[in-house]
Structure 1
Amino acid sequence: MKAISTTLFSILFAINLQAQLRIEITDPNNKGIEEVLVAVTEINSSKQYLKWTDKNGIIKTSISSPVILSISHLDYKTLIDTISITGNYQYRLSPKNQNLKEVVVTGQYEPESAKNAVYKVRSIGKERFEQQAANDIQTVLSQELNIRFSRDNATGNANFQMQGLSGQYVKVLVDGIPLTGKSGTNNAIDLNQIDINNIERIELVEGPMAVNYGADALAGVINIITKKTNQDKLALGITLHEESVGDNYSFFSEGIHSPSLSVNGKISEHISAMASTRRYSFGGWVGNGSERDREWYPKNQWLHNAKLNYTSEKFDITYSTQKMQEEILNLGPVNNNNPLRDPFSIDESYNANRWMHQIQANFDLGKWNLQSANSFTDYERLSKEFRTNAITQEESLTSENQQDTIFYKDWFSRNTVQGNILQVGNWKVSGQFGAEIQYEQAGGTTLSDGSKDLWNTAFFASTEIEIGESLKIRPGVRYTLNSLFETLPTPALNLKYNISDNLQLRVGYGRGFRAPSIRELYHEFIDANHNILGNANLQPETSHNFNADFNFTISGKQEFNISAFYNDINNMITYFIPQQATAATTYRNLENFRTNGINARWNYTYSNFTSNLGVAYIGRYQRLSDEYQVNEMLYSPEANANLTYNWQNPGINFGLFYKFTGANQAYRETINEENNTIVELQQMDAFHWLDFTLSKAFKHGIQISSGIKNLTNITSIQNNFTGGGAHSGNNTGQTAMAYGRSYFLRINYQFNQ
């Protein structure tokens, strides 16, 4: 009996000793770190077991003796501690002073580190979006070198350039699938119609990517990678963003109001799903207008996203959908000159809707991999003019001729197989073979002769030859069949050479071919304020692009990059505005157009401080140099500085984001007082942009951000370009750039089960 009592007592005593230990791992901002490896070693028995922290940075375990904890993570310094009693422990990790091996997918056969990729890929992650408290993609990309944005005052659309070329030469992708819904006379995508809260990162590739992504990828590719479904049982995210527009702000009307909600989680062992919705409300800005007839029009957006993923050992398949609804209102001044009728106003609205469906699948075939990307996009835009009774607020259409519509329906399928071809010694050869088909249908009142359609079928192949650890060579070719035009093959050759462990050289050449788009061929927009016609006699463009890039890394703390590019386009399709006011504005082929430029970037990290500095010099060809004694190229400088600092003790992050955009110059033919044609140098002035932000993370998944945008208080800049665009009229004097200095407050809440 005594032996039994002693045994029971010992068991009970041991059970009591197996008490709970709770460990919380946080970053310098006091935010829990996921997937930290905690090795627990019992001192008495030398037994070791491993634990991973959850989404909140927490592990729970039991110990029966003193233990040694080894806490490690790829991004943070390893921490070792010895504890002898149970309870709650919190450890704050310090970041490593090194550049992480970020993984990129754009243009690669498989996910690969940016350092090893044959193309120079820049990745901008969601951390940067949070640091800038960005409400749209323009806020983020406008801080980058070689990218410039402008605004269409009539429609509120954000137009952009890359490498001195308009957005129609930049392929915009969502998870590798082209985005449909071009707008404006420059035939480009409005990036602000994409929900930035649903983006994991943006990958930028400057230079020709026609072999991989087709004709529109001459200046580069913007690949928007959306957030993926996660493997947690449940994750809930809520964001509230409030921002003034200049000095204007009030709840529910003036200013910017942008709440969002997301739900993400695992449904079963193989199935996970996510859904999100966001409301963006912009109250407009009076500026030089009136209380009702504002210089910046009010805009409202609804942005919805959903994704369903199935993953198994050999394949995974994902269905996703994005729904965008946008309304921009141009409210005219009230007319009360007639005492016999109610006062009224003539108003306009611009409504855009895009519904995009995607199905992507990935199959593991051993040494080979099959990827299939398919999508259907339905985009429409309606512009209407209506009369609003100022007393009753009743609305009525002014005239059927003032109601304009356009729609695009796009079916896209891309299928590729990639993998290893052979390996002999230190030679490794891999390849990719693919086929792509795209069918586009368009119609509406702003296209002549009813609906139109266009299809392209492309076959492409490339191979990557890797010689040891130093050299990669990737030749490739693409051939496209177009339903309207004869086409040419588009070859490309890219090379990456590791001069040393810290010095890399990349060079590339690409030939481009671009057939005129439906909009350029058949655009027809004629009313009291517009006279725009397409040109069915346009010819396809051909182009050549050369680029080079040097990258030098020092001890993981500093990175220097120098790159240069040269674009040469024959038969470039451009938007032509005649000198005669009564003549139609149209599209035409230029004989030749060129851009070139050089960039230098320096990234530096020390302790809790990070800086990204850069300068650029971009030149654009002046076609009048063929006829007059003027410079063949005119250049414009750029500079940027993105600085962040982590103040550890209070856990506050500071961010400073600066961009200098140099003057944009061009020669134009004008008529002088003697009715003679002369050449003048015209200019849009330079400007400086500066944002300041600070943020702090709290326990329980709460983060608060605040700051000032547009500290330099820019509203407009001097611009003496004549005939700057279809909606700009004469466009002399001032060009609207922003709505002045503004202030914001953002609250994020993240719950993970």
Structure 2
Amino acid sequence: MRHFFLLISCFLLPHTLVFGQVSTGKIRGTTHSADGKPVIAATILLKDTRYGASSEADGSYSLEAPEGRYTLVVQLLGLETQTLPIRVRAGETVTIPPLTLRETSRQLDDVVVTGQYEPQSMRQSVYQIRTIDRERIQLRGATNLIGVLNNELGIRFSNDLVLGTSDIQLMGMSGRNVKILLDGVPMVDRGDTRESLNQIDINTIERVEIVEGPMSVSYGTDALAGIINVITKKPGNERLLVTARIQEETAHTEYRPLTGKGVHNQNLGVTWQRKGWNAYVGGTHNGFGGWQGLSTTRAKDWHPKEQWLGNVKLGYRTDHFNIWYRLDALDETINAMDPVNINTNQARDQKYLTNRFTHQLQSDWKASEHLHINAILSYTDYSRKTQTTNIDLNTGRRTLSLGAGEQDLSLFDTRVFRATAQYKLSNTVSFQPGVDINLDAASGARILGSPSIHDYAFFVSSELKPTSVLTIRPGLRFIKNSVYDAPPVIPSLNAKLTLHKNADFRFAYARGFRSPALRELYFNFFDASHSIKGNPNLKAEYSNSFNGSLTWRFITSPALRLTSTVTGFYNDFHNLIDYGNDPANPGAMMMVNINRFKTTGGTLNHTLNARNIQVTLGFSHIGRYNSLTKNDTDLPEFVWSPEVNSNITYHLQKLDTKVSFFYKYTGKRPVYESVAGSDGTTTVHLAETAAYHWADFTINKSIVKSVTLNTGVKNLFNVTRLTNTSGDVERAHSTGGAVPLSYGRSYFLGLSFQWSN
């Protein structure tokens, strides 16, 4: 037996020595994108084996494999996959020629977070959500959010040139019914306009998510028309990232480099992360020299504006836990200059000074595979100051004006606490309970007393999947308001039905509720152009809303995707808050409840993604109704307005240049209004704001590895004012006369820098 084992050992030993030897070779190479930049974190693998690696910060990769013939696969989401046959020889190194990974139209569905239990693809969401990604923001050459959203269907903007502010309308509803969120935190505004859209640093934005229809169950008051959630950038894979941007733009034909006339934007940001810790600090300066327009005096049609925006973020994350603090700060100055009094050679000027500090502390904790907890704590400190001075042009001496209301300071602060828990009972049943606490306070000379409103809510929803093709999400919100007897419960119901592997149908019903804001209850604003009174007797608004959509993906091949979406909506509002005549003072306006207000309509969108071209084409038709026509059978219940938009981007691969054309036709906007006659009688009048065409043409070109040039023309049709037949010249925000839209055609040139390690 001993000799037998010795014989077996002698037989196996040579083979063991052979197999124990390292008979492997090495593979090395680099990857880069079409613009020559290194491709980081690309996956490099040998097909049908376990051997692989990832590309480093400089695009290089290296791996070992046994001797043999293989197929090398290099891939990264959003880029074309490269494959090539190779042969590995023992003890040798195979050097692969540099590989170029170009962009591809084969992309995953956009990942959305607004209203979701957790980030998920847009196709899986029960909500119909529109997204605007970072690339599109860059292609537009926009310096604020209005420059991005003005091309969207169903969205319109109006400008108040006296105050230098803008407001938004969504699907026929005013801005006070549109909730603006920054990473899920509500933005604070002084008046009923959503001027905060112009006070968000666009250079920090990753994408914008737009949800149409009431979101009152999840997000509470102000969300009757929908949600615009601005999502800021999150840390990537870079240890150190430095970004910078400078852009210069004309204001029609007015321009002076870097300062004064024109539009000037500069930004610098630095991101760092290591061992789970991450930090960001950045700042932006926006300068606008105003626009003279039709004015022949020292007063300008569009006021000069200067903004300083700062951002600081500090966070820590692990595989299961993420916590971060963010500060957004704004300092804004608007200069309004009046004409000179020819008798005294003096002029009256005003400055509108805005300061906003928004603090956020947010955390996510994945306690288990079944339980996920989110929490938000935020504090916003907002002030708006009006400073009026008189200047003697003979001596240049400037003194404070002592007129009533000409020196004013309004203070608003908001505290928000929001916490949700997502519990997955099974693959077919999930729950989301949550609490939402909002504490609002205000003070100032134009604010009656020092009022506050406290809103406490508990909400719960469930996502049910009784079959593989049906998802149902019912929800309830219970509210306790310190000022109003809120309805005992606010319900909503959303559903998504997969009709086909390429077709989805969505349906939603929601009960909306909005308690009057502090600005509507207690804010009084009187100056040369405004006469507004708050109304402490306002009732809360509520609505019933229905939405439906059908999405069909006609072509879903890797090289070509064609998708169409048709939507429809109907909103019926009660006690909608708007401006009305003050019975005690016919020359002033006050906030009142309109008995009935409705909107209805639909949209049709087509999206085409091919190898080098992206095309969208959309159409909407929106009808509005208010109670002024309620008792007059000769007038239609709805008045309608159409819109058409299209975006085209073509990528010239060899030049690494993207050429884009953005277009929108906004049809005339009719509305019935009551006009008071000199004899005290009131008549109903159909007013119309003229239609207009808007188009932008941009070129985005990569110059070197870290620098991109962006140039183009905005407002190609040179639209400045819209004719308007309104007879209303006495309201708080007078709609009589021409409606200001823009300062005309402009030309811009910008450079963006991005370096990472």
The alignment's TM-score, normalised by the length of structure 1, stands at 0.91
Q: Which moved more, 1:111-120 or 1:386-395?
A: 386-395
* Residues 53-202 of structure 1 mapped to structure 2, 5 A cutoff: 53-54=55-56, 57-59=59-61, 69-82=72-85, 89-180=97-188, 182-184=189-191, 186-202=192-208
> Corresponding residue for 1:5?
none
Q: CA deviation at 1:721?
A: 1.4
Aligned mates of 2:466, 2:589 — CA distance in 1: 54
Residues 1:397 and 1:726: Cα distance change in structure 2 (over 3 Å): farther
Residues 1:61 and 1:391: Cα distance change in structure 2 (over 3 Å): farther
Give yes or no for contact 2:492–2:509 (8 Å, CA) kept in 1. Answer: yes
Q: Does 1:702 align with 2:704?
A: no
Task: Give the unaligned 5+ runs of structure 2.
Answer: 1-23, 88-92
Aligned mates of 2:275, 2:469 — CA distance in 1: 42
Q: Does 1:555 align with 2:555?
A: yes
Whichever residue aligns with residue 708 of structure 1, its letter is V
| 1:506-530 CA distance string (max 9 Å, x none) | 0000001211111111121234543
Of the three residues 367, 373, 398, the one matched with 1:365 is 367
Q: CA deviation at 1:191?
A: 0.3
Q: Which moved more, 1:306-315 or 1:629-638?
A: 306-315
Q: Does 1:299 align with 2:298?
A: no
Q: Which moved more, 1:456-465 or 1:573-582?
A: 573-582
Q: CA deviation at 1:292?
A: 2.6
> Corresponding residue for 2:425?
421
> Corresponding residue for 1:386?
389
Aligned mates of 1:131, 1:239 — CA distance in 2: 14
Residues 1:358 and 1:497: Cα distance change in structure 2 (over 3 Å): same
> Identical aligned pairs, as a percentage?
34
* Residues 436-447 of structure 1 mapped to structure 2, 5 A cutoff: 436-447=436-447
Of the three residues 645, 651, 657, the one matched with 2:662 is 657
Of the three residues 738, 742, 750, the one matched with 1:738 is 742
Whichever residue aligns with residue 409 of structure 2, its letter is T
> Corresponding residue for 1:610?
614
| 1:209-244 CA distance string (max 9 Å, x none) | 111000211111111111113342211001011111
SS in 1 for 2:686: strand
Give yes or no for contact 2:503–2:551 (8 Å, CA) kept in 1. Answer: yes
Q: CA deviation at 1:605?
A: 1.5
Of the three residues 280, 287, 290, the one matched with 2:293 is 287
Residues 1:631 and 1:578: Cα distance change in structure 2 (over 3 Å): farther
Q: CA deviation at 1:291?
A: 5.9
Whichever residue aligns with residue 496 of structure 1, its letter is K
Whichever residue aligns with residue 437 of structure 2, its letter is I
Q: CA deviation at 1:429?
A: 0.4
Aligned mates of 1:318, 1:79 — CA distance in 2: 38
Q: Which moved more, 1:146-155 or 1:287-296?
A: 287-296
Whichever residue aligns with residue 270 of structure 2, its letter is V
Aligned mates of 2:680, 2:399 — CA distance in 1: 46
Aligned mates of 2:85, 2:684 — CA distance in 1: 79
Give yes or no for contact 1:31–1:697 (8 Å, CA) kept in 2. Answer: no
Whichever residue aligns with residue 460 of structure 2, its letter is A
Give yes or no for contact 1:622–1:631 (8 Å, CA) kept in 2. Answer: no
| 1:224-269 CA distance string (max 9 Å, x none) | 1111133422110010111111011112111111110000011x31
Give yes or no for contact 2:576–2:597 (8 Å, CA) kept in 1. Answer: yes
> Corresponding residue for 1:3?
none
Aligned mates of 2:621, 2:60 — CA distance in 1: 49
SS in 2 for 1:211: helix
* Residues 318-467 of structure 1 mapped to structure 2, 5 A cutoff: 318-335=324-341, 337-338=343-344, 343-366=345-368, 367-390=370-393, 393-399=396-402, 401=404, 402-423=406-427, 428-448=428-448, 450-467=449-466
Whichever residue aligns with residue 300 of structure 2, its letter is R
Aligned mates of 1:611, 1:284 — CA distance in 2: 34
Q: CA deviation at 1:390?
A: 3.0
SS in 2 for 1:584: strand
Give yes or no for contact 1:658–1:688 (8 Å, CA) kept in 2. Answer: yes
Aligned mates of 2:399, 2:550 — CA distance in 1: 61
SS in 2 for 1:496: strand
Aligned mates of 1:346, 1:277 — CA distance in 2: 33
Q: CA deviation at 1:53?
A: 3.0
Aligned residues: 721
> Corresponding residue for 1:748?
752
Q: Does 1:716 align with 2:721?
A: yes
* Residues 480-491 of structure 1 mapped to structure 2, 5 A cutoff: 480-488=479-487, 489-491=489-491
> Corresponding residue for 2:269?
262
Q: CA deviation at 1:38?
A: 2.0
> Corresponding residue for 1:10?
none
Of the three residues 242, 251, 257, the one matched with 1:245 is 251
SS in 2 for 1:507: strand
| 1:76-133 CA distance string (max 9 Å, x none) | 3321135788778433334333352221111111111100011111111110101111
Q: CA deviation at 1:579?
A: 10
> Corresponding residue for 2:604?
600
Residues 1:398 and 1:429: Cα distance change in structure 2 (over 3 Å): same
Give yes or no for contact 2:621–2:641 (8 Å, CA) kept in 1. Answer: yes
The alignment's TM-score, normalised by the length of structure 2, stands at 0.90
Aligned mates of 1:604, 1:466 — CA distance in 2: 31
Q: Which moved more, 1:604-613 or 1:400-409?
A: 400-409
Residues 1:309 and 1:716: Cα distance change in structure 2 (over 3 Å): same
> Corresponding residue for 1:7?
none
Aligned mates of 1:493, 1:644 — CA distance in 2: 37
Residues 1:614 and 1:577: Cα distance change in structure 2 (over 3 Å): farther
Aligned mates of 2:573, 2:680 — CA distance in 1: 33
Residues 1:727 and 1:534: Cα distance change in structure 2 (over 3 Å): closer
| 1:556-612 CA distance string (max 9 Å, x none) | 211110001111111111112469985321011111111011100000112211111
Give yes or no for contact 2:242–2:756 (8 Å, CA) kept in 1. Answer: yes
Aligned mates of 2:55, 2:340 — CA distance in 1: 62
Residues 1:673 and 1:273: Cα distance change in structure 2 (over 3 Å): closer
SS in 1 for 2:483: coil
RMSD: 2.6
Whichever residue aligns with residue 639 of structure 1, its letter is V
Q: Which moved more, 1:221-230 or 1:687-696?
A: 221-230
Give yes or no for contact 1:159–1:190 (8 Å, CA) kept in 2. Answer: no
Give yes or no for contact 1:31–1:698 (8 Å, CA) kept in 2. Answer: no
Whichever residue aligns with residue 379 of structure 2, its letter is F
Residues 1:625 and 1:529: Cα distance change in structure 2 (over 3 Å): closer
Residues 1:56 and 1:287: Cα distance change in structure 2 (over 3 Å): farther
Residues 1:236 and 1:382: Cα distance change in structure 2 (over 3 Å): same
Residues 1:20 and 1:172: Cα distance change in structure 2 (over 3 Å): same
Q: Which moved more, 1:89-98 or 1:102-111?
A: 89-98
Q: Does 1:218 align with 2:191?
A: no
Task: Give the unaligned 5+ runs of structure 1.
Answer: 1-16
SS in 1 for 2:519: helix
Give yes or no for contact 2:25–2:65 (8 Å, CA) kept in 1. Answer: yes
> Corresponding residue for 1:495?
495
